[in-house]
Amino acid sequence: MKIRRKSRFAPEVFTHSLNDIMFFLLLFFLIISTMSNPNVIKLMLPKASATQQMYKKQITLSIDDNKGYFIDKEPIPFDRLEAELQSIFANVEDRTIVLRVDKNLAVQDLVDVLELGAKNEIKMVMATAK
């Protein structure tokens, strides 16, 4: 008695290498996303031992070593800075600005900006490097 085996071909999709491909794509996108920096203005920030991270949307005010003022990458002269801040925070209750000040700038320039914040009831947080 002869036993016959059925030789039917079942369609299969080989997904053994798909795991490796997905892992490398995930790794690639994670590395690329950490390299992007939203602040284009290059500043040398002062160092601090303890840092605080903010997890909400904020406005960035950068001051470079030539006393150039930038609100979210847009240059603003100092005499228009207060009016611009008032227009930005017109209908905002929680007013927060992240200050990015160059470490070579005089303290008086920082105090001038902090006075504008105190006058308009704006909370200012200073960014530092690790």
Q: Which H or E run includes 88? A: helix 81-88
Q: Is the pLDDT of residue 73 over 90?
A: no
Going by the DSSP 8-state scheme, the letter that residue 36 receives in this structure is -
- Contacts for 101 with CB less than 8 Å, ≥ 6 apart: 43, 45, 46, 62, 63, 109, 110, 113, 126
At 23, is the pLDDT very low, low, confident or very high (cuts 50, 70, 90)? very high
Instruction: Among 32-36, 45-49, 115-119, name the most confident range.
Output: 115-119
Total-model pTM: 0.56
Least confident range from 6-15, 23-32, 61-70: namely: 6-15
Q: Which two tokens stand for residue 54?
A: 């903010």
Q: Looking at the domain covering 59-126, what would its CATH class be?
A: alpha beta
123/4 Cα distance (integer angstroms): 84
Give 103's pLDDT tier (boundaries 50, 70, 90). Answer: confident
pLDDT of residue 55: 43
- For the chain, helix (H) and strand (E) counts, in that order, are 3, 5
- The amino acid sitting at 53 is Q
Q: Per-residue confidence at 1, pLDDT binned at 50, 70, 90?
A: low
What's residue 37's pLDDT? 61
At 123 the pLDDT is 87
Say if residues 88 and 80 touch (Cβ distance below 8 Å). Answer: no
What is the DSSP secondary structure assignment for residue 97, as one 8-state letter? E
